[in-house]
Every structure is written in structure tokens, then in C-alpha cells.
Structure 1
Amino acid sequence: MNDMNELKKSVNDGGVQNIWIGLKRTSVDKWQWSSGKPALYLNWGFNQPNGGDERCAMMRNGEWHDESCTKSLTFICSSSNMNTGLVFVNQMKNWRDAQSYCRQNHTDLVSVRNQNECQLIQKFINDSHISNYVWIGLFRDSWQWSDQSNSSFRDWKSGEPNNAGGNENCAKLNPNTQGQWIDDPCNNQNPFVCHEDKLILITETLTWPEALRHCRQNYTDLVLVHSVEMQEEVMNVVKRASTEAVWLGLRHSCTVGLWFWVSGETVCYQNWAPGNGTGDEDCESGVRSGAVQSGGDQRWISRPEHHKLNFICSRSEE
């Protein structure tokens, strides 16, 4: 929603009436969680899901059923402020309104990503004496962001997308609907807003010094990761890497036995894999530099600088 508010401000400043955003309908309908995570674990009831316009999921007795997203139900939010991490909201809302409520007041509509979570949520339902169906954060749609991100954020105007005429496969922002989205034929002509990634994955395989030189000549620098938020951006980028790890702007000094960023700053926020990032590096085998794993949990690892890996450049000094 922060992105939406910034976008609406720039649109309003320019007095633009309609503007393309990077959301397009695909031929693939898939279930995903409101959090943006893919739905790898599924626990449907008998003969479910049965399709049609039933694009949102509700839960009862540990099993899921698909339902029209316009139906009004109570729902469960996830929250970082509760002992159980769960909040039952005893208000009747459609799925989108329930999602908005959870995001504004807690974290999100609850995700059920494995059997253990399913059992914990069902216990919470039983302990809370909830006897009816409740919304969970699972929904199905065929819309995809053009940057291939897995963001599940949607801000459709009520009744949209309606695919009027059967060919409204692109999304635009319309200030007349308080900046909410409507679908529109892709061959219509509208102004648009581009966004420039701060992080650029380079799929050439270079040594760490070569990667540093490339970033400084063509962008700003090898990426610096000073926070959880930046690490999450890095994690989203490295999925497309062709090497098992990707260079960061991390360097080890054998002289003082410390890791530091190429900006000269010390490493405060850390995300090292076990056994990596210590001061006791093998300096006799060559200078060590830092990389992020492109698979698994994408932790940082120490590698000799002469290894050849993909790397991430940043466009800004942030």
C-alpha cells in the first residue's frame, strides 16, 4: 500500500486520468497465499476446489473449501503481537475486506503452509469455539506482475476485474476510483509509470574484484545489505541467478580479522550461514569475500575472491 500511495501522489500531481500498472492476466490460474508465498501445501475437503467463480478459500474442521470472494464470513488474521500468532475477527466481511482489515490491524490473513500449521490453526478454532467457516489467506487468480515478483497485493475497485468484452487483460489505475484498479484491453493507449530496480542481478560469472569493477563502472557499487528489508530484496533478486552463490559487497580483512562492506562500514546486520563470517578466515588461501546463497535459505557465505560467480549491483548509495 505504501507503493500505491506514492504512485497515487505522483499521478495526482500530474493530473493524469488513467495509468497502466505492470499487472497482466496470464493463462495460468494458481492458488497463492495473501502473504505472496506459493501454495505448496494444500488441504482441500472432498471434491474441493470445485472451481468457477469461487476464488477464495475458507476453512472448517481442518479442511478447506473454495468460495466466492464476495461472500461475508468471519476470518483469522496472523499477528506478531499475540502469543499464538493468531487473531479471530468476529466480523462478517468479504475476502478482500478481511484481507485489508488484517493488514491494517495485524499482519495479514492467516497462511496455512504445512500440516503442523494446519493443526495449530484448527486447535485455535476449536479453543475459540468457532463453528462456522472462516476465511484464510488463500486465493486464486491469473494475474502476474511484469517483473515476475510474487507480490499478491491487489487493489481492485469493487466489481473489478470484470473482463468486460472478454479481452480486458491488463490493469490500470484510475484516479476516479480513488486510485483503485480496473481491468482494460491491453491495446488501449494510456500513460504509464516505469520503476527502476535498485538492485541489478548480473548473470556474468566474474571474480569478486572484477564484479566490483563492473558495478562501479556501470552502476553505483556491489550491493550493501544493512537491514532485513534489504536482505529480502536481495533474496528476491538472487532466485534468478545461474550460480550457487552471488557476490555481495562484503570483504574480509586479514589485517584486523574483520568483515566490512566496500563502503568502509562495519557489518552490523548479519545473515551468515553457520560456520561462515567468523574472524578466523583462512588468509593463506587468498582474500575472502562475501556472497549470498542463491538457493536454500539464502544466507551469506565466505568464498575466495578468485571464484567466479554472478553478482548484484546497486543503483543507489543506499
Structure 2
Amino acid sequence: MSCLLASVLSLFFQLIFCFFSTCYLYEYHFIRENKTWEEAQKYCRENYADLASVFDMTDMARLHESREYEGKAWIGLFSNPGKENRMWHWSLPGVEYTERETRWGRSEPGDLKENCVKTRGNWTHAICENTLWFICYDDGKSIHLIKKKMTWTKAQNYCRDHYTDLASGLDQADGEEFKILNKSQGSPMNVWIGLFRDTWRWSDGSNFSFRHWNMESFYDGQNNRKCTWEEALDYCRLHHTDLVSITNPHQQRVVERRTKNASSPYVWVGLRYTCVMNLWLWISDRVVCYENWADKGKIDECHRCAAMERGGRYQWVSKSEYEKYNFICSKQ
């Protein structure tokens, strides 16, 4: 169960936060011991309740106050990879997503790589790295149209810094105030709302939707984070566009330049062997025309994915999808 993050994912051994809960009153305990995430989870469950869960920004502040140093520490958030494990959440803590209360457009939501939601009356899922205006909500029960184009995550951070959160739930994202605000612009327009999906879960089973990522520390193709192929795919689809596809020599050279600084001997790309069709396909569904396989590097077997060599001729080799390597995300 790798790629299990605190705010960033760069160290295999880290200090940990445990929490103890009684009747919904809980406190955080900072544990000054270096452990893997799995070891930290076992320790907290044996000595407290579980690894720390975080409900909202107030909890974030309490978590920081409990910290006894400026480094990194594990919390109870982990990824359960696979597109079938993605779940929809509202950004605002305490607002639960239910299938009965939605405004999806026709044929939405699809089962594609888009994991954030925009609306102009009906909801459409979209790539989170697109830039749009967005709707913030404040504690005064009002919504605010922010006429600044931002990615979904940056819009969420902006709303939390200046208001409360991105508009969440039907009352905020589809209520009368939203309709009046949208009409005031002359014609309906696409704006971000606080609906997203991901594969992340809390160790104690809490259904908290709260996420507060440190975007400056996220993977850009050149740090020490290592993931299985599925974990890398999930990350790229949530935070960028996709795992990179290489369909011509120019793209190959671009990826080569990014691969040079990887900390693993290989780097995942978005190419996978499909047993059903008995061929290799890019995750963009493109058939492989341009190829750069190493000698004997291509093995046509189930659960095999392509990785690029970190150096040398930067050729491709097929690896078990369960191996853990750096990876390269593509942007729109």
C-alpha cells in the first residue's frame, strides 16, 4: 500500500500522527518514531485509535499545533487505486454526495479521466487542470462568483483562503442564488463547483471528504515519489491530464529530458498491454504506431505496462504493473 500520503509523498520513513477518539471528541498525538505508513497504522491502532483523520481546516490547524518539528508526518489518508474505486465528494466538510440529489447533464457522469465538475446549469465532469471561473461559499450563507481563471485545486485553495470553500451541495451549487448569479452574466457559463472524485480513503473508515493538498510539492516527473502503474495513472488523471503518451519522436525527446532526473531506474508512461484485445494501447486509446522498445524489452503478457529507461537510449521496457517507479504526467 504505497503512495500513501501525508501532505506530500517523498519519504518512505516518516514520523506519524495518531489520534484518540471518545464520543467524537478527539486529540492528536505526535509520535516521534520513524515508521512506514503500514507500521504507523499498526502502531496507532494498537496504542491509540488510528492514524489521524482530518475533517476540516480547524482540524488542520490543530494538527499543525500538535506537530513538534517542521518535517513530515504520516496521517491516515491513503489511496485505493483503480478507476472503479473513485468516489464523488463535495469539497465542503459535512456535505455528503448522494445520487438522488444531482444535476448531471445527459450521459454524465462518464467513466473517463475527468475528476472535477463544472456547471452552467447542468453538471459536466472536466479535467481538474483546466482553468475556469469558480463559485465560492462563505459562512454567511452566500455564494460569490470569482472571475479569475484557475485550476480546480487552486480554486479550492482560493475559496478556503478568502471565504469558506468551493460551493458544495445543491443549495449552494444549484440554488436560487446560483441561478440569479449565473443569469446576471448575460448567458450561462461554465464555472467550477466543489464536486470531485478520487480514490483516497481514511484509515479509520471515516467518510470525510476533506483534502488539503500541498500543490507545490506534488509530483512533476522529477522527484522521489514511486508508485505502481495504476497509482500513477490515478494521480495524473486527478491532478493533471493523464499518464504521458508517446506517439512520435518529438514526444519521445520531450519525455527523455524529464526522465533524466528520475530517482528510479525506469519511469512509467501511459502504455499498457490489454489481454482482451491482445495488443498494446496508450491510455488515450491510441494504437501504438511509433515504437521505441529495447531489445527483448517487449513482453506481451497480462498486467504488463511500459516504462522508459532513465538513461542510455531511453528505450521502453515492459514491466509488471505492480512495480514501483517514478512517472510522467501530461498536461493539456
- Normalization by structure 2: what TM-score? 0.43
After TM superposition, the score normalised by the length of structure 1 is: 0.45
Q: Which has the larger radius of gyration?
A: 1
